Amino acid sequence: MRSISTFRSDAPVEIRCRYYDGKTSRANQAVIRFREGFCILDFDGGSREIPLSELSVTEPLGGAGRMIRFSDGGYCEAARPGDLRHVLAAVGYREPVTSVIQKSGKRIAVLFLLLLGILAAGYFWALPFAAGIIAERIPRPVLSYISGKSVEALDGKWLFPSKLSEKKKSSLIRSFRKVRLPGGPQPIEVAFRSSELLGANAFALPDGTVLFMDRLVRIAKTRNELIAVYAHEAGHVVNRHSIRQIIQNSVVAALVAVYIGDVSSIVGAVSGWILESKYSRDFERMADRYAAEALLLNDISPLTLGRALETIEADHERLQGKGQEKELTDYISTHPPTGERIGELKAFMRERAARK
């Protein structure tokens, strides 16, 4: 609704209407006039003089009648819908922009496209940019708390104590600590877990802890493949991808919840997955490039990461063949296709070769 204080107060117009006092459902036959900055309302059994600043007019909605509302809850409804429109024109009332837009299908279409453009810009640029800034400012104790709670929630359900020997784990940790990383040493800790459900996998937590699954350690063909995976996860740690993903997913989930009212529904879950997966793919490409830089620093071919990815993908296909849930076991589901990632690693090597 919009205030009618912009009326020309000297316009000699009147209109017959039904007046409701806002307290009862009784309709009173009335006449409303505008004069000298006031609205004069004469109705059965009384009269009121109301300043224009205390009045508002409902917006037009299809063929529905419009009303003049008073600050005390009362309102007037024109006996004939067309009468109020003529009165408003006579007294110089300017319709709000929303009312003008609603009268034109072309204007609605243009604004709809503009809204889509704004949402797309927010999703593809503003949200990642804001999430990156916020992630860099989150204190380490907060990251440690989030990581601890995440592992606590997974332990005993998806994750179980590692079955690798202490000698094997210690040897791997020593190898990882010797890896030179772009930008210098990073606060990365390595831990091991066993998980038949997740299979050959590794992932970085917000505080910089990298969890290696036993299965990945067992099926890796060489120590360098594990180093390549470690370098990839280090890329996630350095760029704070885990906490950025949490921030971005939370915003997406909140928007979906506002729009559909129940983020736990199938529609909400599917919508959230489709939107969130884009960020995951971008992060994977960034981590792959970081890993390629790190591997070159350690005199290891970046294609070693490609071979590790193929090993992981083959193992996940094995799990799916045994009937495991795809969304729980497919490491590649929100990642770029393995072939595409290997192609990008080869392109990276060609770029480096061309610079020499």
Amino acid at 350: R
- The pLDDT assigned to 329 comes to 42
What is the pLDDT confidence band of residue 273, given thresholds at 50, 70 and 90?
very low
Q: Are 333 and 327 in contact (CB under 8 A)?
A: yes
Q: pTM value?
A: 0.68
**Widest CA span of the chain, in angstroms?**
97
What is the pLDDT confidence band of residue 334, given thresholds at 50, 70 and 90?
low
Q: pLDDT of 88-133, one tens digit each?
A: 666 666 666 666 666 667 777 887 888 889 988 888 888 888 989 9
CATH classification for the domain delimited by 2-102, as one of 2.60.40, 1.20.58, 1.20.950, 2.30.29: 2.30.29
Q: Are 67 and 57 in contact (CB under 8 A)?
A: yes
Amino acid at 142: V
Cβ density class 239-267: b for 16+ within 10 Å, e for less:
bbbbbbbbbbbebbbebbeeeeeebeeee
DSSP label of 7: S
pLDDT at 257 over 80: no
SS3 43: strand
Comparison of pLDDT for 22 and 9, the residue scoring more: 22
Domain coordinates in residue numbering, the chain: 2-102, 140-355
Mean pLDDT (the chain, rounded): 81
Between CA 236 and CA 244 the distance in angstroms is 10
Between CA 253 and CA 274 the distance in angstroms is 11
pLDDT at 323 over 70: no
Q: Which two tokens stand for residue 328?
A: 């729980």
Surface-to-core class of residue 178, CB atoms within 10 Å of its CB (0-12 exposed, 13-18 middle, 19+ buried): exposed
What is the pLDDT confidence band of residue 267, given thresholds at 50, 70 and 90?
very low
What's the average model confidence in pLDDT over 320-344?
Answer: 64
Comparison of pLDDT for 38 and 173, the residue scoring more: 173
Between CA 289 and CA 235 the distance in angstroms is 8
What is the pLDDT confidence band of residue 271, given thresholds at 50, 70 and 90?
very low
